[in-house]
Every structure is written in C-alpha cells, then in structure tokens.
Structure 1
C-alpha cells in the first residue's frame, strides 16, 4: 500500500540529489523498500562530502558521520538536509518524525519519534538523540516493531541485547521484529564474547568463545545473574531454538531447567540438572559439540569385520553407507560392498542408506 509520507520522501530525494552524476533514482511508489533506503544512504553520503557513493552504509559512512556530525538531537548543528534524511527514514520505518513534512527541523515532533524508536529498540529513551548507529539502523530494512509472524518472546531478547550492548564498538543494532535469523544469531555470539572477555570478538563460535562458555556458562539451579549475563543469554538461546516458554529472568530456576531438558531430549543429549557445554554448543551452532558421545557414524569407506569391531568398541552401532560412488576428481570408493550389509547386521549393527551423485567437486562462484 502506498504511503504519501514515503512518496513525499522519494520525490524530495530525486528532486534534491538528481543532479549528482552517481545518483540512482528512488522509485516514486510510496512503498518502502531497499531502493528507497539506499537512496537515503546516498543522500547522506552526499551531505557528508563522501565522493564515491554506495548503496551501503559502510565503515566510511559511519566514520564520517561520527566525526562530522555525531549524535543528532534538538539544538545540534547537523544540517537541514541531514535532518530531512532522518525524517524521511522515520517515515519509511513507520514513525512520525514530522507529520509527513520534510522541514529539516529537529523539533519536539521528531524528538518524540526518536523516543519511540529508542523504546522500540530496547534503548533508553534519554537522551532523545539519534546516534550514528541508530542512524545506520534507520536506513536499513530491519523492522523495529513486532511483525505478524514474529514472537514477543524473541523480541524481548532482541531488545535486551540492544539495551545491554549498543555501546560496544562492534555491536550493531539488532532488529526487534520478533524473528530469529542470521543477524540475531550474530548479535548473540557477540554478546557471549563480550561477557566472556574474548579478545577480538568476531561473532564466531571459535576456541576462545568455547573456552569462555566453559569458564563462565556452566551453572545449576539457583544461579542468578549479577554483573554478568550468562543465564540471560542461555535463556535467550533457548527461546531462539523454539522454546519460547523459557523464562528470561537471569535466574536458572525449575522452569528453565524443564525447558532445557526438553531441548536436550529433542537433540538426543543426556538430560542434566544444570547447564553443560554440549547443550550450549547445540543451541549456538548447527554442528553442536563435536566431542559429544555419539552412536552413529557416516562411513565413506568399507566397514570390514575388524573395523566394525573397532567402531562398536567406541560406541558406534549405526552407520551411514553410500549406495553409489560419487563421480569427480579423486573419486572415493564409497559404495557399500555386496556382503557388507549382511555382515554388519550379523554383528548387531544397523545401516541407513545415503544416496549422493554430486557435490564432490569445487566450482568457482
């Protein structure tokens, strides 16, 4: 549905910046989308004096905005057009930054909209200013309100992450739409690294992050967060993995334990009374804990009698075996052999079939 305030923003952008040789015209549809957000970003770059325009609000835009403008509020000397860009972004995000008008005035109406934005994101209402990080989020397609398919339980966590970590150098605003996705997962990993004091936080579940979880994130009934946030983050991970009834209190209580054990049962982990590393790993990455005990193995080579005995001695009794060889460079003889299935069954093992005819070679792009 076309929005007259968004349409007014699109028309103003094209009229004001259409002279620029690198300008890409915004669609005049009244519908918010990436082309309009990218046009707002280019407009901001022009106002900041950036010579090479980009659709992305990248490091150069961020550093230039920080150094030349900083936070924008009532009384700040930010420039009329920059405030108009801010107002246009507010309309595209669904906030009333000036009654549909682009007047370039940071008055009480825009201030009220900024307070609403900050509250929706989980940030303190005061000071009612637009920081460079907030400006960047405003010129994105991230939703800052609960969407129809979103979860209020997930949104509560998204807001809490923003409120606690917004001032960290590498942390960027998390959408607060109630949807769990890649951005939210990345913010979650940064939060774990911040709490664990991991040097060079990068959002990955690497050795340093794993060591931080082992050192700080293992606790049982009665644990209560104080200055650290480990129980909150564990409860957040539970909600992100489909357990919205998990409390988000920072207290590891019976209700949290019940939800955790339901997850452990689903993921085929032994039920524990307290939080353990394997549960953390299974919540945070698809591979889980690679060192957890297992009873099944993907076997790409023949299982002989002696190899079966070795594997069963290590606890493995279920085996994936391939129905064909995969053609490609350095072919591996993966196909199950004629008498292999019967032999495995004779010694009490079980087999599931794997059919693969491609994916053996690397292709560019």
Structure 2
C-alpha cells in the first residue's frame, strides 16, 4: 500500500463522492484503473462536463487547460494525484503548483522524450498522466525500445498522442509508428488513422529506398527493425549496406522476397503489421472446403505446395469442413503436402477449459489415427479469437496443458493463434510448432508483438477465391517456413484396426495366462500361426505353405488349441487387414508370427545352438530364398540367363519369395530381437513401436533391412559371408534344400542366381 496513493483516493471520494457524475473508488492505496478513472471523472467535473465517463475523450481533451506553476485549486490536486499514482513525487498533496510539482512534471516530460520542455501541465501530457501507461523502462522492456518511444513522442505526438515509454513494443507503439509513417508520407493529420488504409498503402507503394538514400522513413524502418527483435543503429536516416543486410535477415525470417540492395513496400508493411503485403505469393494455403481433384489441381496451378485442412467438423455446426480419406489420398497423390488443423470451437475464452481440452485432445487423436496420420506429424489446435494476456494465462495455457496430457500428445502439438498466444505458450509449455494467425492484423495479440521464431505456417491473407468453374475454391494464403514438412504419406488406416484387434487378443492371453507377459506373447503368436497354417495338430497338415504341422511345431513350438478356440469364440470377427507402412503391401501377419516365434523358440538343447540357428534361418528368409531357387529353375525361359531371371522375379507376385514374404521374415527377426532383449515387453508394444511409432520421422519398419543387417551381422560384408556359406551344397544346407524343395535336381546356377539377386537387394537397401 502506498500512503500517498491512499491519500489521493480519500481526497477524491471526499471531494466528489456525493456528485452523481463521480463513481466512488476503492481506498486501498494501490494505483489501478479505478483510481485513474476517478481522476479522469474529477477532471471532467472541474471542466464542467455533465456526461462524465471513464475515458479521456475528445471533449475532455479540448476543454483541458494548461495548468501552470503558481496555480492552485482542485485542478492542481488532480495533477498532483496523477503524479503520485505515476510514481513521481510533487513534494506534497496540497493543491498548490509549486516548485515540487513543477519539477515532477518536468521529470515526467523528460521520461516521455521531452527533456527541454517546461514543468507546466498541458493537455497532451494530462492525457498521458491520467493513464496506466509507464514512462520508465519496465522489467520486461528494453532501453533500446524505450529510446525509440521517446523519439517517436518528440517527433510525432502531434499526429497521435503521448505514448508510453516503458521499453515494450506494444499496440500503442505500433500505432505511433504507423502515424509517424503517415506523417512522413504526407498524409494530413485529419486523415491519419494509425492503421494501414488504402491511402497509406498506395503512398507507401510509391516509396523504395536504395543504398545511399536518406529519409525520415529510413529512420522509422530502423525503429521497426529494433521492435521486431533485430539490432541496428537508430541514429541514422541513411539506407546503408549494414541496414540492407539486417533487413535481408528480417525478410528471410518471414520468408519475404526482398529486392537486392533495396527496401520496398513489401518489407516496410511486414515491419509495421503482422500480415504484411497481402498480395505477395505463398507456398501454402488453408481452406474449409472439402477439396475435389479439380480444386486440388487449381491449388497446384497457382503454385501452392501445402494445404491446411480440418480434422473434424464442429458438433451441431452447419459447415462440413472435415477431411476424408479420399481427399487425403488425392492431396498426397497430387504431390501437395498436408498440414492438420483442429478447430471445433475456440472462438471465446469459455471454450478453453481442462475438460474441453481432454475431449478435444481425444477427438483430434482419434481423427488423426483413423486417417492413418503417422505420429511424427503436427496437429495445430486453434485459438481463433484475440485473448488478452490475462485470458491467455488463465484459460489458454491450462487448455493446452490439458491437450498435452491427452492422447493427442502422441502427435506433435501445435498452436494456431496470435503472435502473443504463440509466444506465451512457447514460454510456458515449451510448445514450438506455430501456425500464426497474422491475417488478423487488428488483433491486440498481433499488434506490437514479434513473430515467434518457431513459426511453421503464417496465415497472412484470408477469403481469397482462385480458379474457375468446378475448380474454384476459397482459400487463405499461408507463408511456409519449412520447419514443418507437412504430411506426405499416411499409414493405411487398417493398421490401427489391426493394432486394436491384436490388443484384444493379447488381453485375452493375459487373462488366460494369469498376467504372464512372456507366456501371453507366445499365446498371441500361436493364435496367428494357427490361423495361417504354421502349426497345430501334430497329425494334421497345414492349410497353406505345404508345410506340415509337425515341422512348425518343432521349429516354433506347440500351439495351445484351447486358447485359440477361446479367441475365436470371444472375438468372433475376421482379422482386420492392413498394409505395410513402407511397401504398401497387404501384410501377412500369420507369416510374421511363424518367423518371429521360430526365432524365439529353442528347437533343441543349447549344445546344438548351431543347428538351431540354421532352423531359424530356414524357417524365415533363407527358407523362402531356397524355394525361390526352385522357381528360377522351373520357370526360366530359354532366352534368359539364370541371373537375369532371378533379378527380374525376386519379390514378384506368384513366386515363392514375394515382397510380403520378405518383410514378414525380416520383421519377424527384428521383433524377435526386441522381445528377447526385453522379456517384459508386450507383443502389442513391440508391434506399435515397430510399425506405428514415427517419433524420429519414420517407422522402424521403414528401415527394416538396415535394422536387420546391423543388429544381426554388424555390416553387409558379414551378412554376405553367411549368405555365401548358405549357398554351398554341404550338410546341413543340402538337407534343408531337400526338405523344402523335395528335389535334388535344382541346379547350382539357380541357387547362386537366387542368392546373388537377394544379396544385391540387401546391399541396395544399405546404400
């Protein structure tokens, strides 16, 4: 509590409390808007104004007299009261304009940028006095900005008003800079608005500065650079090479094309407004329109490379804006990149609560997952209004804390909002992916705030129509920084359905095994093996692969038929199909289960580990490569060599070694190593980490060959050494060849051609 502020408050209530034109104020000794409003109403009463208000409007301004040294009475009390609230001591509170009051007013004027002004109180300074703005540098402010504020006041206050000198680039300072520009452009004071109207834009477009030019506008450009966070001397009005370099850095930071050795309207507009030159080209756009193939082509024809689209519709809303899988496929197949927006409301503070955050986070996750969006991508959650700093901290920050605690955190969390919203969320929650709503240049959260350095997309112009006929579409223009590469591919959505099915099978296994994770993993694999015919009744035969149950039971372990029947009766559904995220092949998970469990199962005692290794190899890729050699022998046309035919047929449909076989074999090995190295790992987690988790920009399955070679052999040479050994017609290789091909007539040339084709493929994956 400040004793002198309390004294001012008591005086106001005692003097004007019975006047209906005055609202009594709280006597707490704290300067706040209540006390400032009281001082303004007191001044209006003294000026004879009958309809008083809390604002210092044009009538108050026009009637306000100069209060000079030697004056006394209530007007002096009001000046002294304002000084005490502002932090300046007039030496007392007595209604007499003596030396102390004169010195305090002079100090205020000096802080405002008028060091040689008198200590008398004119109306321009009275308006500045009866305000909450500061004229000393605040803790968050900078002296460099404060110096600019003082210079702007000194040279341009007559076009606007005395503005704060607190070291903060804010709304008032931004308006003052534009007023200053308007004055230098020759726009009359009566027409100046402090905003970018058509006259200001037209006259500014006529201005261009080259190295060596001098102009007061060049000094304003220097001011604006400092306000945007770029260090430059503000004492010169000359356009020099140093200034040009810094302007180039500024332009690059916003992806603006700046002319060589020049500064033009495009750069100036971006320095003094969030949206900049709205006629400039852009690589990105966003739209609420479900895009047809024709409209997508319109975007491409107009040079757009990125398009932002909405994940969901607003409940009970009338606009059908959400993505469809067909639209995603059309966008990506056209070569465009996609970025994702979540907005179901978000246009008022009431939409930002923890409860809504949890709901929205779950909705966004479900929508993105259903579309097969890999989890390295960013979802931009919208703050589509102009919250003050208080509302950002009280509502928006807790909301995003809730988003970060929802399942949406499996994706990168981004923000669509004003510069102030983005900067505060960066500071408070370490969010670093921003889609900035700069097109709303009149928002207080954009005026006077610097661009967040971590911006990905910058929406700078809205409601633009491009194209004609069926190709016409309404878009917003969006600058692209390159930080977010956008969605370029999706995982086939079926993989999510399969993962959920796999989880259901695992949960049944956990209950069946009394929560034994290792046993549950085996039960899950047994279920899928039986579905694919890779084991079962010792005296039956498999449904596929022409391999006996006895062989698979020996190399991969027995199958628990009771558990398999339990799964069948409980789930009673077809196993969901899914495509491999990398090859786009439909996945043969039954094959993977057989290879995986073979690699985990010990066939015979540890004294014969070498033979067990051979069994693992021949139950996987080596077995498929062996039968592939038979395909080469029996299918080779007379006009082709063995090697030509093997190179041509490797991994092709209709062969014994298709791409589906290969990926199941290699993935089986890789997943076996993960499960063997961590016996507490669930098969569901191993599947998710390998096929669906893309935290590093790609799934492990997309690097399966390199993963297999490096983890198993260390390098390609070691792999090839083993592969070459397995191509020798010696025991036990010859035994496995006979067992798998049921023939001893396959030529050495066919086996060698198959091995060479396979070796070359592996080497190509490592390059």
Could you tell me whether the CA contact under 8 Å between 2:309 and 2:323 is conserved in 1?
yes
Further displaced range: 82-91 or 345-354: 345-354
Are the equivalent residues in 2 in contact too, given 1:235–1:247 (CA < 8 A)? yes
Q: Superposed, which structure 2 residues align to 1:1-365 within 5 Å?
A: 2-65=1-64, 69=65, 71-75=66-70, 79-97=72-90, 99=91, 101-168=92-159, 171-199=160-188, 200-216=191-207, 218-225=208-215, 229-243=216-230, 245-249=231-235, 250-272=237-259, 273-326=261-314, 331-358=318-345
The Cα offsets for residues 124-176 of structure 1, whole Å up to 9 and x where unpaired, read as 523332110101111111101111111111111111111011233xx111100
Q: TM-score, normalized by length of structure 1?
A: 0.87
| CA pair 125-72 structure 1, distance change in 2 beyond 3 A | farther
Aligned residues: 344
Determine if contact 2:74/2:95 at 8 Å carries over to the other structure: yes
Query: Aligned with 1:270: secondary structure?
Result: coil
Q: Residue 197 and residue 271 in structure 1: after superposition, are their counterparts in 2 closer, same or farther (change >3 A)? A: closer
Q: 1:259 to 1:8 in 2, by over 3 A?
A: same
Give the whole-Å Cα distance in 1 for the aligned partners of 2:200 and 2:221.
14
Distance 1:299 1:138 in 2: 47
Structure 2 CA distance, aligned partners of 1:281 and 1:328?
A: 40
In structure 2, what is the Cα distance between the partners aligned to 1:53 and 1:307? 57
Give the Å deviation of 1:72. 2.1
Whole-angstrom distance in 1 between the partners of 2:23 and 2:295:
64
Q: Give me the whole-angstrom Cα distance separating, in 2, the residues matched to 1:267 and 1:134.
A: 38
Q: Is the 8 A contact 1:72 1:131 kept in 2?
A: yes
- In the superposition, relative to structure 1, how do residues 337 and 15 fare at CA in structure 2: closer, same or farther (>3 Å)? closer
CA deviations 1:273-302 (Å, max 9, x no partner) are: 321222222222222211111111113324
Runs of 5+ unmatched residues, structure 2: 348-767
Q: Deviations over 1:209-254 (max 9, x none)?
A: 11121223x21222223xxx201211122122222x1221222233
1:334–1:25 CA distance, 2 compared to 1 (3 A): closer
Unaligned runs of 5+ in 1: 361-365
- Given that 2:110 and 2:117 are in contact with CA atoms closer than 8 Å, whether structure 1 keeps it comes out as no
SS at match of 1:252: coil
Q: Secondary structure of 1:166's partner? A: helix
Give the drift of 1:87: 1.1
Relative distance call for 1:49 and 1:271 in structure 2 (3 A) is: closer
Greater CA deviation, 156-165 or 283-292?
Answer: 283-292
Task: Report the alpha carbon displacement of residue 114 of structure 1 after superposing the two structures with TM.
Answer: 1.7
Where relative contact order (Cα < 8 A, 6+ residues apart) is larger, the structure is: 1
Whether the aligned pair in 2 keeps the contact of 1:121 and 1:176 (CA below 8 Å) is yes
Q: 1:305 to 1:136 in 2, by over 3 A?
A: same
Secondary structure at the aligned position of 1:320 is classed as: strand
Provide the secondary structure at the position in 2 that maps to 1:28.
coil
Q: Hey, what does 1:363 align to over in structure 2?
A: none
Give the whole-Å Cα distance in 1 for the aligned partners of 2:340 and 2:157: 49
Task: Please name the residue that 2:544 is paired with.
Answer: none
Q: How far apart in 2 are the matches of 1:123 and 1:346?
A: 63
Contact 1:247 1:255 in 2 (8 A): no
Q: 2:331–2:337: 8 Å Cα contact kept in structure 1?
A: yes
Q: Give the superposition deviation at 1:332.
A: 3.9
RMSD after superposition: 2.2
| Whole-angstrom distance in 1 between the partners of 2:278 and 2:104 | 48
2:18 alignment partner, SS class: coil
User: CA offset at residue 105 of structure 1?
Assistant: 2.1
Contact 1:42–1:55 under 8 Å retained in 2:
yes
| Cα drift, residue 34 of structure 1 | 1.2
Tell whether the 8 Å contact from 1:40 to 1:89 is kept in structure 2 after alignment.
Answer: yes
Tell me by how many angstroms 1:79 deviates: 4.7
Q: Structure 1 residues 340-349 or 85-94, which shifts more?
A: 340-349
Distance 1:166 1:321 in 2: 45
Distance across 2 between alignment mates of 1:36 and 1:339:
61
Distance 1:189 1:207 in 2: 13
Q: Which has the larger radius of gyration?
A: 2
Q: Is the 8 A contact 1:321 1:336 kept in 2?
A: yes
1:15 shift after superposition? 2.1
